[in-house]
Structure 1
Amino acid sequence: MPSQIPPTDSTPKQAKAKWMRTASVGLAGVVAGILIALQLPAFAEKASPPSQTTGLPIQDLRTFAEVFNAIKQGYVEPVEDKKLINNAISGMVSNLDPHSTYLDAEAFKELQVGTHGEFGGLGIEVGMEDGFVKVIAPIEDTPAARAGLKTGDLIVKIDDTAVKGLTLNEAVKKLRGKPKTQVTLTIARKGMNKPLVVTLTREVIKVQSVKFKMLEPGYGYVRITQFQETTISALVNAVNQLYKNGPLKGLILDLRNDPGGLLNAAVGVSAVFLPPDDLVVSTDGRAPDAKHKFYAKPEDYQHGREDDLRNLPAGIKTVPMIVLVNGGSASASEIVAGALQDYKRATVLGTQTFGKGSVQTVLPLPGNTAIKITTARYYTPKGRSIQAKGIEPDVEVEETPGAKKNGLREADLGGHLVNEKDKDAKDSKPEADKANNKNGKNSAKDDDMEPGLAIADYTTAKDRQFVEAIKRLGGTPPVAANKDAKVSANEPAVTEKPAKPVQ
């Protein structure tokens, strides 16, 4: 069967010359268009030594243009220019690290809506690694959570479409859709010999950022599911409600499976429990505006609005606290946990967090599109970098009996940023990249992963971390409904970390 390919050395000279003339015209047009659009002096570039070049690399642009033209001329089916350019931008950004991505108009709109706490879909925070979609955390009270999806699940198929080869934006588009429509996911999960197939019905996802309840007189519980624009005011309301009947003796702040969100919300949440003007987090990057320190003061979390924290009960600054974390606690969750841990304001209890210590900035582009790129690393008040390392709890408690400690984390993602303060970081990144590039297989750590406790079981007798937390605060642990749910007092579930100076 004849193939449509560019001429080779065996092609008749006239045909080859004609193809080359066409290619040359296309090449010149593309390069000229790029340079004119960006207003860059192409010829001045040639005169500069490579070490002094500050503009675009002309030779590499020519290579790009040749590839572009070859696809336009010889690909088996016609391809629109816009699609090729969008794919090129997407590949350029997504190959930087696991959290940088190109947002087309639809994805950009969904991102903006999502920060307000409402969007359409399944209610699942996902990431992309080597072409596979992995569950970072299901969002509470959503189809994904009710279906039992767990941190670390690997989505291998969406309906009849294999995920391998899709971009993250393409996968998200297939996961989302009109409310009341269904989507079938094929899930690979540790401990299951066969893939798990689940059918979910899409909903309009309205995320309740803060949930709270009085456990018993004097003991409160607050869970933050995601850091949004409304999180600070919702937390203030929760605190005031918990203090209605008098001072608290203890408070549990649950950040488990919270994938993060807005930086200013994390600063505001920290400010609820810290003295005014305490440093909460600092960021450092190459650009001048990426170097910043955020304090527990209104101008760093309210963005010019009236201070939500002005009417908090005074006792919230000193009430004994325990912060619950696990491998699904990421980004903004780690900022809060790290700040409260550095100041010894709270005991952090649970398992090591995800380790996403980088800041992403959304840069709008023409056509209602945008790029989300990593612009800085963030650091705890004592200067610790969490990137690819996470927050180590003061008290380590497994979620379920025999659960593995090495679940999916930032350090397992191919292309992750290294922790520049970790002397072993330079060795760990290539190993993670190598493990994640073996024909699309999971890394060894993924294969060893044990799914965590279901969100529906939080604050019950099955929740070992919660049981240990309430005991340490002096409250009454919940009673198991049956013998299988009991937590034995003899189980070696708790590991107390010795006190050590912060490096």
Structure 2
Amino acid sequence: MNHLKSISKILCFALSSLLLFSSPSIADEDNYSPLDSPSFFEGLNTFTAVFSQIKQMYVDEIDDETLFNNAIRGLIEGLDPHSSYLEPVDQSKVSESTMGKFGGLGIVIGTKGDYIEVVSPIDDTPAYRAGLKAGDIILQIGDQNVSQINLEEGVKLMRGAPGTTIKLTIGRPDIAPFVVEITREIITVTSAKGLLLEDGIGYLRIAQFQRPTAEVVEKIIGDLVEKNESDLDSLIIDLRNNPGGLLDSSIDISNLFIDEPGIVVYTEGRTPSSNMSFPTKPGDILNGAPIVVLMNVGSASASEIVAGALQDHKRAIIMGEESFGKGSVQSMMGLQDGYGLKLTTARYFTPSGRSIQAKGISPDIALDNISLKSEDEEESIDFSSQEKDLKNSLSAQDEEETTSEDPTELTPEEILKSQDEITDARDQEYVDLLMEDYYVHEAVNVLKALKIYKKN
């Protein structure tokens, strides 16, 4: 009798799932129904048989809800690294994180094999100050071996009350595993900042694409023009270790520098609502001055959209390393009883039709990841992984939470105030450090060469 009840529950679950997932935004647009697929019922029979064996023979008694949730989670997480099933408590935490009510480390992470990989540390966060680098592998979180947990469980372990500490065991190429102890903080991000490197050469660092970032960038360029006492001759946009952010922000920032008709980016998926194109808008705040964009393997998602758009419109020279290759679109969908679904629904393509997914943006000028300092002063970084290396990553499909700790967004006024608090002496210190940065040093050389070429 219990066996028959379980079978009945499975069938009820399957039918309710059909209704649950057949929302107008997904299934109706394709007119797809699992009831029309013979393979669906074959798979359901297999699932029913496995479910029945677990209920009768597994060493511990497991309730139906747990088994169903495990099955759904496996169904979704087996698709790609960025699709996930959110239980009600996870949904609540997502809401809290967008309000800044959590303590974190300030890293964007993904999976690599059985372990968690640092995609990039976020500027001026505990993880950044502790020296974590793109490509680092997290082997243990506290006493927990990472190979025994999934990505979401790893995120939960690293989050906690501000002021508390967590020990991470880190694996890095060519050196023995080591332990870092990091104190959690409320994660806030100054999304952009700017400096005048030399007469006429501006430097713009974009750490993440937030809602006010385009407005902040426009104000920063205005401030640099004022400090330069004339229009900028050229600009370096530093997107290294920028994990991405909001699509709208990346489009708005691209449009600050593009002054020709066309598109910034487009998406392609299986449903009409997933197929979108985002046009350029007239107006270039630099009036055509040369741009160099710096990227590395820690540059992902929205960073790749900006770099791809500027590259395809021949508006910027891309320098550095091939980027991460996170070119997929995730949509959030609410399910019954407070559950949620984050599902990959489309791929991003650059204006010329290049897929970003699993390929990234290739630089026009490739740079080795070296330092101008001596080996005793600074150890070179080995970035060893990209989107294509993640478990179950999507293919490029030419014609194309990574998981992140959501930062508290600063208002434009707060960001600009933080900029104003940097003194001229501090500015010069930053400039001196930047000129010792190999990527920046080479970008300045290229921009100077372009200036000479234009004069001739």
TM bucket (normalised to shorter chain) is 0.7 to 0.9
Per-residue Cα deviation, 1:86-124 (whole angstroms, up to 9, x for no partner): 222221111111222222334334445656778531001
Does 2:3 match 1:29? no
In the other structure, the counterpart of 2:146 is 163
The whole-number CA distance in structure 2 between the counterparts of 1:296 and 1:421 is 22
Does 2:333 match 1:359? no
SS at match of 2:147: coil
In the other structure, the counterpart of 2:30 is none
Instruction: Pick the aligned partner of 1:473 from 425, 431, 447.
Output: 447
In the other structure, the counterpart of 2:318 is 348
Question: Structure 1 residues 404, 411: CA separation in 2 closer, same or farther (over 3 Å shift)?
Answer: farther
SS at match of 2:256: helix
In the other structure, the counterpart of 2:416 is none
Paired residues of 1:214 and 1:242 also in contact (CA < 8 A): yes
Deviation at 1:317, TM superposition (A): 3.9
Matches within 5 A, 1:16-415: 21-36=1-16, 38-39=18-19, 53-54=36-37, 57-112=40-95, 119-192=102-175, 194-245=176-227, 246-275=230-259, 277-297=261-281, 315-400=285-370, 407-415=384-392
Per-residue Cα deviation, 1:47-70 (whole angstroms, up to 9, x for no partner): xxx999249823322332343344
Paired residues of 2:300 and 2:324 also in contact (CA < 8 A): yes
Matches within 5 A, 1:430-441: none
Code of the residue aligned with 1:319 in structure 2: it is A
Question: Structure 1 residues 317, 91: CA separation in 2 closer, same or farther (over 3 Å shift)?
Answer: farther
Paired residues of 1:399 and 1:463 also in contact (CA < 8 A): no
Per-residue Cα deviation, 1:459-480 (whole angstroms, up to 9, x for no partner): 53442111111122239xxxxx
Does 2:434 match 1:460? yes
Task: Give me the TM-score of the superposition, normalised by structure 1.
Answer: 0.73
The farther-off stretch of 330-339 and 405-414 is 405-414
Deviation at 1:403, TM superposition (A): 6.4
Deviation at 1:405, TM superposition (A): 8.1
Paired residues of 1:188 and 1:195 also in contact (CA < 8 A): yes
Deviation at 1:404, TM superposition (A): 8.4
Paired residues of 1:222 and 1:252 also in contact (CA < 8 A): yes
Paired residues of 2:102 and 2:160 also in contact (CA < 8 A): no
Query: Unaligned regions of 5+ residues in structure 1, if any?
Result: 1-20, 41-49, 298-308, 426-455, 476-503
Question: Structure 1 residues 52, 106: CA separation in 2 closer, same or farther (over 3 Å shift)?
Answer: closer
SS at match of 2:205: strand
Query: Unaligned regions of 5+ residues in structure 2, if any?
Result: 21-32, 372-378, 401-429, 450-456
Question: Structure 1 residues 117, 210: CA separation in 2 closer, same or farther (over 3 Å shift)?
Answer: farther
The whole-number CA distance in structure 2 between the counterparts of 1:81 and 1:458 is 62
Per-residue Cα deviation, 1:14-60 (whole angstroms, up to 9, x for no partner): xxxxxxx43233112321343256459xxxxxxxxx99924982332
The whole-number CA distance in structure 2 between the counterparts of 1:101 and 1:179 is 26
Deviation at 1:347, TM superposition (A): 0.8
The whole-number CA distance in structure 1 between the counterparts of 2:431 and 2:120 is 15
Instruction: Pick the aligned partner of 1:419 from 390, 396, 399.
Output: 396
Question: Structure 1 residues 39, 218: CA separation in 2 closer, same or farther (over 3 Å shift)?
Answer: closer
Paired residues of 1:361 and 1:373 also in contact (CA < 8 A): yes
Per-residue Cα deviation, 1:127-167 (whole angstroms, up to 9, x for no partner): 12333111100111111111111111111111111111312
Q: RMSD across aligned C-alpha pairs, in angstroms?
A: 3.0
Deviation at 1:458, TM superposition (A): 9.9
Paired residues of 2:102 and 2:186 also in contact (CA < 8 A): yes
Paired residues of 1:213 and 1:242 also in contact (CA < 8 A): yes
Paired residues of 2:359 and 2:396 also in contact (CA < 8 A): yes
Deviation at 1:408, TM superposition (A): 0.4
SS at match of 1:35: helix
The whole-number CA distance in structure 2 between the counterparts of 1:72 and 1:457 is 65
Per-residue Cα deviation, 1:189-219 (whole angstroms, up to 9, x for no partner): 1011x31111111110011111222223322
SS at match of 2:187: strand
Paired residues of 2:102 and 2:162 also in contact (CA < 8 A): no
Per-residue Cα deviation, 1:325-374 (whole angstroms, up to 9, x for no partner): 00111111111001101111111111111112221222222343322221
* Identity value in percent: 42
Code of the residue aligned with 1:57 in structure 2: it is F
In the other structure, the counterpart of 1:17 is none
Code of the residue aligned with 1:259 in structure 2: it is P
Paired residues of 1:274 and 1:296 also in contact (CA < 8 A): yes
The farther-off stretch of 91-100 and 225-234 is 225-234
SS at match of 2:343: strand
Q: Work out the number of aligned pairs and report it.
A: 399
The whole-number CA distance in structure 2 between the counterparts of 1:331 and 1:116 is 22
Question: Structure 1 residues 319, 241: CA separation in 2 closer, same or farther (over 3 Å shift)?
Answer: same
The whole-number CA distance in structure 2 between the counterparts of 1:196 and 1:226 is 28
Per-residue Cα deviation, 1:268-321 (whole angstroms, up to 9, x for no partner): 110111126531011111111111111124xxxxxxxxxxx9xx8x64241211
Paired residues of 1:115 and 1:261 also in contact (CA < 8 A): no
Q: Pick the structure with greater CA Rg.
A: 1
Paired residues of 1:116 and 1:228 also in contact (CA < 8 A): no
Code of the residue aligned with 1:27 in structure 2: it is I
Question: Structure 1 residues 121, 293: CA separation in 2 closer, same or farther (over 3 Å shift)?
Answer: same
Code of the residue aligned with 1:273 in structure 2: it is F
The whole-number CA distance in structure 1 between the counterparts of 2:38 and 2:98 is 35
Higher RCO, Cα 8 Å, sep 6+: 2
Code of the residue aligned with 2:69 in structure 1: it is N
Task: Give me the TM-score of the superposition, normalised by structure 2.
Answer: 0.80
Question: Structure 1 residues 80, 204: CA separation in 2 closer, same or farther (over 3 Å shift)?
Answer: farther
In the other structure, the counterpart of 1:498 is none
Paired residues of 2:86 and 2:340 also in contact (CA < 8 A): yes
